[in-house]
């Protein structure tokens, strides 16, 4: 959790707050997507996280993927901006958020997958036909939209 969010949580407790962030659907040559096993709620999701003060969506997306997976991504293409009631989430500790997430797609990355052990305990590429059952709730919405996009591209 970044300093800004910690500071806000110290003032409002578990009450709902907007959480502005970005994420990346990283695709490999086999058209599989990169997922991380999140440590905050023990579910799988796309790499991403909250913006730091003064950071752009693109900067946050690149930073979060690098921190959580060890991969440096490039050539980000914006997929969609997600917000609204469907993006509401309550974490196991009781923190309630309404996510506002700018999601990108990238086929360009360098490095070796290495889960950071802090925000992610595992990471790997998955076929859209064999995703883990325990997907992070907000990421279910994002992946549903990604499936629709893939169908339209065919």
Give the range of the structural domain holding residue 117, as residue numbers without chain letter.
3-153
- Count how many domains the chain has: 1
Q: Give me the mean pLDDT over the 110-132 stretch.
A: 94
Q: Give me the mean pLDDT over the 44-55 stretch.
A: 96
Give the model confidence (pLDDT) of 69-107 as tens digits.
999 999 999 999 999 999 999 988 999 999 999 999 999
Q: How far is CA 77 from CA 38, 110, 147, in A?
A: 24, 17, 16
Residues 69 and 49 sit within 8 Å (Cβ to Cβ): no
- CATH code at 51? 3.90.79.10
Give the model confidence (pLDDT) of 32-41 as tens digits.
999 999 998 9
Give the model confidence (pLDDT) of 7-26 as tens digits.
999 999 999 999 999 999 99
């Amino acid at each position: 959790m970044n300093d800004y969010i910690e500071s806000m949580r110290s003032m409002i407790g578990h009450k709902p707050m907007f959480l502005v962030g970005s994420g990346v659907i990283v695709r490999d040559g086999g058209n599989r997507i990169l997922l991380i096993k999140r440590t905050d709620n023990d579910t799988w999701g796309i790499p991403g996280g909250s913006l730091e003060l003064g950071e752009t969506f693109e900067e946050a997306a690149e930073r979060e993927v690098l921190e959580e997976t060890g991969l440096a991504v490039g050539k980000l293409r914006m997929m969609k901006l997600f917000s609204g009631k469907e993006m509401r989430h309550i974490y196991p500790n009781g923190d309630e958020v309404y996510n506002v997430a700018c999601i990108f797609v990238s086929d360009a990355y360098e490095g070796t997958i290495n889960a950071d052990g802090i925000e992610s305990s595992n990471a790997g590429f998955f076929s859209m036909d064999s995703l883990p059952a325990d997907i992070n709730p907000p990421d279910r919405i994002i992946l549903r939209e990604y499936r629709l996009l893939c169908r339209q591209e065919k």
